[in-house]
Amino acid sequence: MDTGTHIVMGVALAGLATFDPAIQNDPTLFHAVFAGTVIGSHAPDFDTVLKLRNNATYIRHHRGLSHSLPAIAFWGVLVSSLIYAFVPEVSYWHLLFWTFLAVCIHVFVDLFNAYGTQALRPISNKWIAFGFINTFDPYIFGLHIIGIIAWILGAHPGYTWFIIYTILILYYIKRYMDKREIVHIIKKHIPNTIDIATSPTIKHNEWRVAITTTDRFFVGTVSNGHVEIIDEFVRASLPNSPFINIAKKDKNIAAFLSFSPVYRWELNEMEDYTEVRFIDLRYRSKSYYPFVAVVQINKDMKIMSSYTGWIFSEHKLQRKLYIGDPLL
């Protein structure tokens, strides 16, 4: 989820914590728990600082180690311990429990969008992405805002958030059923389908889909149950080319390949260099595929420049490749 949604979820969890008599009867403990749930709800995304190093490091590790099983315990203990250092008179175990729960909920809700997480590390490095909740869902965020306003106006926080989260559980079930119906429709029309990557949009009944078959990739949209195929690509394995082999050793390309399960590649011969480009097919937006990895290799088989990340125009991509990232 986006940062704003994670934060309001932390506020909601602090409201639910008032069902705990120890927290309800101790204002100092309540404020400590409030800080713990809000900070804990955002803590796994502290890995955003990796962007300061370079995009490759960020893409390879974001929602990876920071969202893993050991990290969940680490963030819970770290955040609660830091807060406890300022208010040692409160119950540490109550503070730890609610902070830890906030971290768990952060990682849990991140599983449901198209980006996903490596939440099972170190058991498995597989990316888990259920793809039926948008990274920013206006319904989820809006219900939290309503709950916060009701709390400010004097509504009982525990009962308020219990009602809202009951609604949200039903909403998640409904979105899961929506995705299941989309998958059923696609498999009915494209029988040799192997995998379907779904990505909901801001509009409730519109979805983006990337379909993998035995020999093709299809990119399309689903609107009100109607599937429209927009692009079709041959599903080709990477050739045993010296340019491809060199490209795979570049940190930007390696980061892209570690993250993207549905992509196509291009090998373009230029006057002074050869460009190898990898394009993720899951995030088509306005006739453009913004998540790419590109490497340029000169005639001496040396890498001149490379880039991976989100780019929404060819001009900006070429500027990145020409100017380079000063932090690389």
Tokens representing residue 258 in the block: 């570690």
Q: Which amino acid is at 83?
A: I
Query: For 21-44, how does the pLDDT look when each residue is reduced to its tens digit (9 = 90+)?
Result: 999 999 999 999 999 999 999 999
Query: For 78-103, how does the pLDDT look when each residue is reduced to its tens digit (9 = 90+)?
Result: 999 999 999 999 999 999 999 999 99
Query: For 257-312, how does the pLDDT look when each residue is reduced to its tens digit (9 = 90+)?
Result: 888 889 999 998 988 899 999 999 998 988 889 999 999 999 999 999 999 888 87
- CA separation for the pair 52, 58 (Å, rounded): 9
Beta bridge mates, 209: 198, 220
In terms of Cα–Cα distance, which of 115, 131, 133 is closest to 259? 115
In terms of Cα–Cα distance, which of 297, 283, 277, 267 is closest to 135? 283
Beta bridge mates, 220: 209, 229
pLDDT-based confidence at residue 328 (cuts at 50, 70, 90):
very low
pLDDT mean across residues, the chain? 91
pLDDT of 18 above 90? yes
pLDDT of 321 above 90? no
Amino acid 261: pLDDT:
85
Q: 264: which residues sit within 8 A by CB, 6+ positions away?
A: 217, 233, 236, 278, 279, 281
Instruction: Output the pTM of the full model.
Output: 0.86
Query: For 144-177, how does the pLDDT look when each residue is reduced to its tens digit (9 = 90+)?
Result: 999 999 999 999 999 999 999 999 999 999 999 9
pLDDT of 75 above 70? yes
Question: In residues, how long is the chain?
Answer: 328
pLDDT-based confidence at residue 127 (cuts at 50, 70, 90):
confident
Question: With contact defined as beta carbons under 8 Å apart, do 160 and 12 qualify?
Answer: no
